[in-house]
Structure 1
Amino acid sequence: MMSKLIAAVSFAALALAVTSSVARAEEEKTIAGIVAGSKDHTVLLALVKEAGLVDTLSGKGEWTVFAPTDAAFKKIDEETLKKVKGDKELLKKILLSHAVKGTVLAADVVKLDGKDVETLSGAKFTVHVDGKTVKIGDAKVTATDLKASNGVVHVIDTVLLPK
């Protein structure tokens, strides 16, 4: 009887430890972790690595990232993409044009209809809300509120290019 009790308590402790670890891992998923775990953001992940911004998106702080999909990058002509990949400062500027300081959830974004938001690069994009469709600049928001330990990710269908 005592061995069954010890086994039951040990099993319960193990189950609790595993559950706590899984919950902690989900809570601790950073913006970089969300992007890295997405099959639709392989180009963005490669460019973030190339620009040296992985630590920024993994680190402390509160960020809102508008993450263009691989299909969004395919909309950019080859010459422009090649130019951006060859100029690390331009690449950083474009990537930072997809982030704002603070955690801005979808419910807050829709309140910004007609207003400009300033990104970390200093570029400004206007938010447009038409029913359930939300755009930032020319990019349509296709998924919202992917929460991370250091902010939130919203998926967009077009790369934001600063003017």
Structure 2
Amino acid sequence: MNTVSGFKYAWMRLIAMAWSDKDVMKRLLNASSADVRNAFKSLADFEVPDDMHIIIYNPKRYNPDDIEKSIREVIFKNEPRSLSDLQGGGPKDDKDPKEDFTWGWDGGLKSWLLPSAIVLLPMPPPPEHKEADQGRDLNQDAMALAAYQWIGRALPLSCC
């Protein structure tokens, strides 16, 4: 189910798992793009497209510098900067992409060279429970997850 709605359900599944298992939460929040891709596949049976990178972050500890660093790492380590890079598997150095990248339309080749999509997903914090010593209230978690989906935050994009 590798569709937009499939992505939504996979993301909801990962959120539910993260809320119920602190190790999953930690794994997702500290993951590289490749690790997030693996988590979507292994935990939610969804294959993230090769030309998409996902960064999951904690909105309570949001730091724009950390997000920018993560994005730059994705670009430096994964993105081709020219057709020869594209054919050869990616860039060979850590130059600043603003200085060196040749992204755009190549009329001679009649082809685009563009960076992959980078999707930033805020991991919603789990709902707080009044009776902490009784464990998670699954009814409240289910309602919170449904409300998260209902407000439109479950997808980083929308289609009409």
TM-score, reference length from structure 1? 0.22
